[in-house]
Structure 1
Amino acid sequence: MQVKLAVLADYANVTAEGKLNILGIFDCINVTDVPAVHPQMQFIMRLEAHPAEKDRVHTIEVRLHDPDGQTVFELKGEIVPRGGAPGQTIASNQIITINNLELRQTGEYSFVVFIDNDLKTEVPLTVTQIPRPPEVTPPIVH
């Protein structure tokens, strides 16, 4: 089983026809202070299985590592490729919603994906501290 696509985005869905829609792909978050909380993001993957993998159980693990290499969170599960025409690859779209992600420091974060304990892909996320915007004083009206 292979990861054909892996991105972070603001939103994604899969239509009834199986089309994957992705809005607002990003790889950088700007914050004014740390720690910071990112309210919501989605980690999207498109997995493809060889026809010989049909109906076989595969373990999948997604981890987020911080700039120090520490695991922020990990998700584990199983996936079983089903369907597909005989002899054709089997595609599966996966959308993981992440709410209120606490970013304790700036730097390079990394989402890593393991399938059957084999590292398949890595998706970077850069967290950058930017200056606060200046206070805007409303004009005085006489």
Structure 2
Amino acid sequence: MNAVLAVAADYANVSNDGKLNIMGIFQELRPGTLPAQVPQMYLVITWDAGPAEFGSQKDCGVTFMGPDPNAGEFIKMEYQLVVPEITRPGARAIFHQIMGIGGLPINRPGPHAMHILVGGETKKEVPLYVHEPQEEVLPDG
């Protein structure tokens, strides 16, 4: 099973007819202060799996890490995913996963990333660069 798409977005959903809708894809954050929290975001993943994997259960995870490897992980989410079976003979399963994440902690500026894992192996990485907060410049007068 492979992650063929992985993005951070302001919003995402899957329509009744299976279309993936993603709004506000981003790779950078500009917090007003640090530490901060991202109030609401969505991690969107599109998976691809072959017929031999249909119906199998996969141990998956998302690890959010910041710029200091010695500071450890900020968040680690683990879950199981069952590969859906499809009705078209010989075709691969392509399916979407949308995770709403609220209150993601951001403690320092620099490169951050969400690592998407299957069986402990990284399948995709979603980079999130956190900028240094900007000081508010007051007009003269």
1:8 aligns with 2:16: no
Deviations 1:16-65 (A, max 9, x none): 11110000000000123210121111110000111110011111111101
Hey, what does 2:56 align to over in structure 1? 56
Percent of residue pairs bearing the same amino acid type? 32
**2:34·2:133 contact (CA, 8 Å) conserved in 1?**
no
Q: Distance in 2 between matches of 1:53 and 1:127?
A: 37
Rg larger in structure = 1
Deviations 1:86-140 (A, max 9, x none): 2111112111111011211111111101112221111110000132333469xxx
Number of residue-to-residue matches in the alignment: 138
Q: Distance in 2 between matches of 1:34 and 1:130?
A: 7
Secondary structure class of the residue paired with 1:52? helix
Match of 2:80 among 74, 78, 81: 78
Match of 1:110 among 107, 110, 113: 113
Secondary structure class of the residue paired with 1:5? strand
If the length of structure 1 is used for normalisation, what is the TM-score?
0.90
Q: Distance in 1 between matches of 2:40 and 2:10?
A: 7
If the length of structure 2 is used for normalisation, what is the TM-score?
0.91
